[in-house]
Amino acid sequence: MTATSAYPSSTVIPGELDLFLTPSPGHNNAVFVIICELPRYSMGRITPPFRQLYQETVSDLQTELKAALVDLGHKSAFDLLLKEAWNPEQAAMGNSTLPTVCDKLNVMSTIHLRKLITTLVRENGQRDAVIGKLEQRIGVLETRLNEMKKPNTDVVVHKPTGGTLKPLFGSIYFVYHEQTHSS
């Protein structure tokens, strides 16, 4: 396979080493052979985009790390990190100046954990407030119950003279007293 080169009237034979065949000026049939090892740079971007690096790193973590995890809880935690912390924040991690994708993933995981801790602390505070109110209500109800259990000493029944006690319900009596008016 031959290709043209930057040298006028040269032929390039690509391979591990490039061979440049250039005719010698002034010598009929003489050819200079120039052997060069040129770096193989493709045109365009040399640094791969973050999204590509991210996908490669996550794929490596899934195949090498997650597959090696024994605890199913750790595997599901890995999936939750991927779903809730890393994937939604790809753009933020791409804008970061941290040197490696793993550094960005670690920082994002820490931020996500901080968010979860804050949510749990807030929810626990709300539960503590509800528990406090319920404890107060329980205290009021216990006080009422204790008052109901005490014997009622406020009501004293005296048998009136000339009156009769008539049972109403069980041990509750109605005092019936006839009043006579003297005129």
Higher confidence at residue 17 or residue 94? 94
According to the model, what pLDDT value does residue 116 have?
Answer: 93
Decide which of 179 and 136 is more confident. Answer: 136
- Report which of 61, 65, 11, 16 is spatially closest to residue 38, judged by C-alpha positions: 16
- The residues near 164 (Cβ < 8 Å, ≥ 6 apart) are 176
Single-letter code of the amino acid located at 18? D
pTM to 2 decimal places: 0.49
SS3 per residue for 71-105: CHHHHHHHHHHHHHHHHHHHHHHHHCCCCCHHHHH
CA distance 138 to 78: 44
Encoding tokens for residue 23? 């005719």
Higher-confidence residue: 22 or 115? 115
DSSP state at residue 168: E
